[in-house]
Chain A
Amino acid sequence: MTPPSPFSDLVRLATTRLAESGVAALAGLYDLVSRRLVRYAVTITSNQHDAEDAVSAALVRIADQPLLLSQTRRPWPYLLRMVRNESLLIARGRRRWSMVADLSDLRTRCRVDELEQEETYRAVWMALRRLPAAQAEVVVLKIWEDLTFTQIAEILEVPPNTAASRYRYAMQKLSQVLKPQCEEVPDA
């Protein structure tokens, strides 16, 4: 079993405050997790509006029953799983036409000193959208959330090896699509 991450501890702290102070403390939890949850949900729903609905539904549920989260051993993976379930529900229910072709639904922000990188960021997001959702979400959880394959497997309810192989296939595809951008990046 992997130990809880520092971010998970922060989520637990925010949830404990929520349980003690009621719905007024939801703002703290929102500020802590919303950006991460939205970018994860976007990989499942392929649409930011749907992703935000999923995040909102999950957080409202947490505000209603904060003990759901505060009593779990790893609140952050648990919250990710809640958002995943909400995202899948919304994605199945709405069946929007695919928005893979562009990123027009995304609300993006780029710092002034990163404007040169914007095209690269767009290419990365576009490449992630072209992946199957099952593979894209493993990439997001692995790279952006820095989770282990064991934790990812718990969230996705698949064996750890399945999560690892999905990641491997996704990285193969991404390396082909993002080859020009990778060549521009100096040695990591």
Chain B
Amino acid sequence: MYRYDEFDHAFVSSRVEQFRDQVERRLSGELAEDAFKPLRLMNGVYLQLHAYMLRVAIPYGTLNSKQMRMLAHIARKYDRGYGHFTTRQNIQYNWPKLSDTPDILAELASVEMHALQTSGNCIRNVTADHFAGAAADEVADPRPYAEILRQWSSVHPEFSFLPRKFKIAVTGAERDRAAIQVHDIGLHLKKNDKGEIGFAVYVGGGQGRTPLIAKKINDFLPEQDLLSYITAIMRVYNLHGRRDNKYKARIKILVHETGVEELSRQVEEEFAHLQETELKLPEADVAAIAAYFAPPALPERSEGWAQLAGWKKQDEAFARWVNQNVQPHKHPDYGMVTISLKPIGGIPGDASDVQMDVIADLAEEFANDEIRISHEQNVIFPHVALADLEPLYRALTAHGLETANSNLITDIIACPGLDYCALANARSIPVAQEISTRFGAPERQAEIGELKIKISGCINACGHHHVGHIGLLGVEKKGAELYQITLGGSGDEHTSIGEIIGRGFEPSKVTDAIETIVDTYLGLRTGKEEKFLDAYRRVGPQPFKDALYGEAKAEAA
């Protein structure tokens, strides 16, 4: 993984000291709140319902055990013994004292981490496929490009005060695991006929109150032009993006209002000025960054094949975990392991300090010291020998980390919702917990198959409900919570925005509604191989409306 150079160390340390001074001046009264608020936000410090919240960046979701141990230490020393991994591959602490935040940032800096650009109208943490560097279907590792973009965008003077926040995602495989089409810019790494690396460039996707799928504006951008082309997009956006209305300020609105042809023309025009400038990526620089992400030496461990078969035969729960949570690695003797942070009835994305320490220890012991956070709020060990799966599983089991539900109905994405968030209108976590508990039986989950439920507690859609196969949006109606259900959303290479199925449900009825939807699906699918999303796309919303509301009521709704 990337290691800080002298410049990075000096820069991050100087920012910590700058913020320490700002916090001291705030606490002494020298700085007023209005002046301080944008400064704390630039350092990832928000104010939520109960306390401050600190959002720490995990660039493209990649970290090592030393960094994970630091996250555990911070949870223990400065917070309430846990952290919350987010849909942007970051971690949030819900209870830090403002007065402690400079010390927290200093501790983070000691392991090459920070909280910069985790808030504000700037280019946020660049996200990437959590299986990067390990996936069998990968054309190239997206992380070197995510790192190049991170370096380029960090305190970029021209792009630090954009009309609105800006999110870039990169995937290196045809199968999109980074949801690139619902990002401001989505990059799909590919190779052309000559074997050269380039990018399909998508622009103007996003969720929130106006969900839009990104438009492809370039089918193959050569690698060397990455920064000049992205700069061209940013310039067009910075110039023409709306600053008069916060709700219309994202680039998706600009793309929508300008039209993709005209926007592409503007980008190409700007790109023509930039293409032959210092922004052109020298091959040597790309290679130097890529070297940081060289895959670990993975010795042959073919003994794992027979061992694995034996272990699976002996232990049904282990077999279930392997089948669900272990994906094929590009090396046949290895697997990519998903460590679920979705225990049945638990809080999606939360991990205790003890669990984080355990994950760090196990990453060192079994996973070449590489850890990822997925945008689906789970932990990934990308390189685990099949021969090590059983001892890893046993160790995870001792700490409640063995839930075998990756991509199943209980692998729910949920935002913090009204239990923490100052913007939320309704709770997300208790809804997720109840659904998880209802469907928690392993046999039932297996019978239902792949089904992604995503829950947001307000229209900002941090819980990605628009791209949930089943999406839940919490709203406030007459002072009470109400949950609107969308069906048919998807955040992969066939991205779609879910359709609202009808009127909303009270908290006490929402799990029953989910069960009705699931039972309807089970009743109409052509067979177990027809997944929920495929079945929905085949039959459309009507059978689900009929089941939820009755035929006559559905027409009225």
Pairing of A with B: no
Residues of A within 8 A of B (CB): none
- Which B positions have Cβ atoms within 8 angstroms of A? none
